């Protein structure tokens, strides 16, 4: 079963698991928060500490 995870590069949501349930995971994530896998050489900056 697939599950949502945070992309280590951009901080958006991607998936982890078998790959057969990606669409189910994507259905729970707003489109603008889904990692498309197209990354620049540098990772996104981390959010400020609380």
pLDDT digits (tens, 9 = 90+) for 1-50: 999 999 998 999 999 999 999 999 999 999 999 999 888 766 667 778 87
Write down the pTM of the prediction.
Answer: 0.70
Q: Determine the pLDDT at residue 41.
A: 62
Name the residue among 14, 5, 4, 22 with its Cα closest to residue 38.
14
What's the rounded Cα separation, in Å, for the pair 35 and 50? 24
27: in domain: yes
10: in domain: yes
Q: Provide the 8-state DSSP code for 32.
A: G
Domain count, the chain: 1
Q: Determine the pLDDT at residue 7.
A: 94
38: in domain: no
Task: Tell me the two tokens of residue 1.
Answer: 């079963």
Q: Determine the pLDDT at residue 15.
A: 95
Q: Determine the pLDDT at residue 12.
A: 96
14: in domain: yes
40: in domain: no
Q: Determine the pLDDT at residue 35.
A: 94
18: in domain: yes
9: in domain: yes
49: in domain: no
Domain carrying residue 25: 3-33
């Amino acid at each position: 079963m697939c599950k949502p995870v945070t992309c280590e590069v951009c901080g958006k949501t991607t998936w982890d698991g078998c790959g057969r349930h990606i669409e189910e995971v994507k259905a729970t994530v707003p489109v603008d928060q889904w990692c498309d896998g197209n990354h620049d050489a540098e990772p996104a900056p981390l959010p400020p500490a609380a």
